[in-house]
Structure 1
């Protein structure tokens, strides 16, 4: 596993570099990843606009910021993502702002389809669901993971699948409405739990 993590980190980029890449690709009518379908390109265009707005508007609660000051040991937050992923677009701007709260946290991003060995170590219900965040210490021990969605959205998905069998366009629309109303609060709650759990076990 450590070799796979080391290789992924060599391929990783900063959040700003990821945003620059998205901006460049969408300007050229492209998405990340080997498949360049009209659908994925349209999702990427939508996500570029969404992330641009969220980068400016997401606010971190003071109580959350206080909790993040408890982190004293260096951590690497390695996130698996792609430009076409709607959940990544909603959550990455929040994760970026959380990582900025403490200089012990180093946020790194990798593209899923260029790092399938890594992705396959961190499946969700046997699926390559993104975004997936892996919390590492300096020796590349896995301290915790998160993703692909905030806890409340995960429950929404579970409940909808129980009732309807699969996710459809209506659910995806409902999920976006929820994200817009939530404004990153649930991610912040999840990450307070995540870092507190990590501190307890480290």
Structure 2
């Protein structure tokens, strides 16, 4: 496992580098991942706009900042993502906001389709759902915790819908976007604070 993690870290991006990657993909009418279809290119464009908005508007309260400062571990957060992923566009900027407030958290992003061995170690209900955050001890490379692909409250929204309707439809995807817009990253932030134990 540690060899797989180390190999993925060699191809990882910082958050600013990842944002630059997505901006360049949009300029070149492209996308990350194995599927380069027109739909995926359009999702990447949409997600670039979402991330730009969240980069400006996700706020951390004084209480949140104090709790982050209480984290004294030495962690690397590896986030498996893709530019076309709608959940990632909402969740990853909030992850970045938390990580950048701590000298004890090093955030790295890797692409799912080019890190298949890593993704296969961290499936969600058997699926390659992203974003997936893997929290490791920076020194020992031991996996301490995982998070994703959505905040707990959003996961419940999707699970309840699937239980009732049997599948994920366009309707629940729209409901989820409304939920993310109303939540403004706060559920993700609270989930991350709990993961840090602060």
Q: TM-score range by the shorter chain?
A: over 0.9
Match of 1:6 in 2: 6
Partner-residue secondary structure (3-state), 1:114: coil
Structure 2 unaligned runs (5+)? none
Match of 2:58 in 1: 58
Distance 2:60 2:30 in 1: 32
Match of 2:167 in 1: 166
Query: After superposition, what is the alpha-carbon deviation per residue over 1:152-173, rounded to whole angstroms, capped at 9, x for unaligned?
Result: 0000011001000011001100
Match of 1:181 in 2: 182
Match of 1:92 in 2: 92
Query: After superposition, what is the alpha-carbon deviation per residue over 1:5-58, rounded to whole angstroms, capped at 9, x for unaligned?
Result: 010011111000000000001111000112210110010000001101110111
Distance 1:50 1:134 in 2: 23
Partner-residue secondary structure (3-state), 2:168: coil
By how many angstroms is 1:174 displaced? 0.5
Structure 1 residue 118 corresponds to structure 2 residue 157: no
The total of aligned residue pairs comes to 197
Greater alpha carbon shift after TM alignment, 31-40 vs 82-91: 31-40
Match of 1:191 in 2: 192
Match of 1:127 in 2: 127
Q: Compute the RMSD of aligned alpha carbons.
A: 0.8
Runs (4+) of structure 1 exceeding 6 A deviation are none
Distance 2:60 2:115 in 1: 30
Partner-residue secondary structure (3-state), 1:113: coil
By how many angstroms is 1:189 displaced? 1.1
Partner-residue secondary structure (3-state), 2:26: helix
Structure 1 unaligned runs (5+)? none
Match of 1:146 in 2: 147
Match of 1:68 in 2: 68
